[in-house]
């Protein structure tokens, strides 16, 4: 099917990509602006940690394409996702890239934005609530607290090379609260970093499936958290929160060796 020049110009004007942060899991935690973007989508490329009930807010005729990545399994490589975004924008119109949390917090949103810009596609960004700040709050753990913690670090559990981030070693020497994303596979190594620094009594919380009905939290210290997490069968997706602020959790003192089902 051939397009005349007017049709091609119209499609070029219409082609656009919106990066939307879906929040940490609970569908109610997406923004109103995010829902508005979904309501006008022609194509949705969505991730593994996105609550699929959000897809109901898109037009019935919109294409819904799962491009999620989990641990060592990738439905599509990142370069393929980049190419799909541009290709669908050119052929279908408005593409919504629906990403868990916030697109720019370990979400590779910056790479997708850059690729789209290089190919002349208009882009918009709708920020999302990142699990790095939301899940501790939902559990009553403040990331900062006067006289306890003046800052917080958000660090990936492992680099692309598969090793513990060097930032963990630096952060472990401070009094800052440390939030580790995608760190369950490196939990033992992370704990060892703190133990070697003489910080075995530092409080730790691991929040699994945060904001969801099956959310679970395990509490402990750096000396006990690995065993506690294993005993309670805590697994990804989970966020690790490290620091004295964890002791502010209502159950820390009494139940730090048990998981708390929410």
Residues serving a catalytic function are 47, 69, 182
| Contacts of 73 by beta carbon, 8 Å cutoff, 6+ apart | none
Determine the Cα–Cα distance for residues 160 and 62; give it in Å rounded to an integer. Answer: 34
Rg (alpha carbons) of the chain, rounded to whole number: 21
Could you check whether the bond before residue 237 is cis, i.e. omega within 30 degrees of 0? yes
Determine the Cα–Cα distance for residues 207 and 199; give it in Å rounded to an integer. Answer: 21
Q: What angle (nearest 5°) sits at the alpha carbon of residue 203, between those of residues 201 and 204?
A: 125
Alpha helix ranges (H) inside the chain? 5-14, 32-39, 78-92, 109-118, 131-138, 166-171, 187-196, 225-231, 252-255
Place of tokens 């992370």: 190
CB 71 within 8 A of CB 64: no
Q: How many CB atoms lie within 10 A of CB 180?
A: 28
Among residues 38, 42, 168, 171, which one has the least CA distance to residue 99? Answer: 38
Q: Is 64 exposed, middle or buried (0-12, 13-18, 19+ CB in 10 A)?
A: middle
């Amino acid at each position: 099917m051939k397009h005349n020049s007017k049709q091609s110009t119209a499609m070029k004007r219409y082609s656009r990509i919106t990066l939307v942060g879906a929040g940490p899991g609970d569908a109610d935690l997406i923004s109103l602006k995010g829902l508005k973007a979904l309501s006008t989508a022609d194509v949705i490329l969505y991730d593994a940690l996105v609550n699929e009930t959000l897809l109901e807010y898109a037009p019935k005729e919109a294409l819904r394409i799962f491009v999620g990545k989990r641990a060592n399994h990738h439905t599509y490589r990142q370069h393929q996702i980049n190419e799909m975004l541009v290709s669908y924008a050119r052929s279908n119109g408005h593409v919504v890239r629906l990403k868990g949390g916030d697109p720019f917090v370990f979400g590779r949103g910056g790479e997708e934005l850059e690729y789209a810009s290089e190919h002349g596609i208009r882009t918009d960004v709708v920020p999302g609530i990142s699990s790095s700040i939301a899940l501790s709050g939902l559990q009553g753990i403040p990331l900062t607290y006067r006289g306890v913690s003046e800052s917080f670090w958000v660090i990936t559990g492992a680099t692309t090379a598969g090793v513990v981030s060097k930032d963990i070693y630096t952060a472990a020497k401070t009094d800052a609260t440390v939030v580790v994303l995608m760190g369950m596979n490196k939990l033992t190594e992370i704990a060892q970093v703190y133990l070697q620094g003489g910080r075995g009594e530092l409080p730790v919380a691991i929040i699994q499936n945060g904001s969801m009905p099956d959310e679970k939290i395990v509490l402990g210290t750096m000396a006990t958290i690995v065993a506690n997490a294993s005993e309670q069968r805590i697994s990804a997706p989970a966020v690790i929160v490290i620091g004295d602020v964890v002791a502010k959790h209502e159950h820390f003192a009494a139940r730090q060796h048990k998981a708390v089902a929410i």
